[in-house]
A = this chain, B = another copy of it.
């Protein structure tokens, strides 16, 4: 369990036992059942979540209560309403479990403490953030340039393992297409 987190950090930089022990003091763990909300829009967002196991979706409800999927997150991914987290304000999005999910979570104060104590940690976050930014840009491009079929195929190619774990309805909500259109793609 703890190993998952340590391995995850050590894909980027090495940690001594002592350092990792300190890191752990800043995290707490929690389990959620399928269908649970980890947080909902309007909640004060105090934490960033590291998915140990399971699968979640970050969603936005529009004015007609339609659900749109901002992102999925599974094992080894970090997730939160980052804007709300960094500004310690209320969530625009909601985080809902598509499967039973276990997470480590850390507060903003804890996050800052880590960065101060272990400078490499800041490099780590920077790398994560950069990658998140880059893949968001890729998705924007996909939405700008590709039709539903192309978007779906790009998604399958980019996230093959994810695609097998979620329903087409969920994929449609991520791609910005109605589930009927997605269903008709290969007929």
Q: Interface residues of A, CB < 8 Å — how many?
A: 30
Chain B contacts of A129 at CB under 8 A?
Answer: 126, 129-130, 133
Q: Closest CB of chain B to A69's CB: distance in Å?
A: 8
Interface string of A113-130 (1 = CB under 8 A from B): 001000100110110011
Contact status A144-B83, CB under 8 Å: no
Q: Closest CB of chain B to A116's CB: distance in Å?
A: 10
Interface string of A50-74 (1 = CB under 8 A from B): 0000000000101000101111000
Q: What is the chain B residue whose CB lies nearest that of A176?
A: B144
Chain B contacts of A6 at CB under 8 A?
Answer: none
Chain B contacts of A158 at CB under 8 A?
Answer: none
Interface string of A65-95 (1 = CB under 8 A from B): 0101111000000000011001000000000
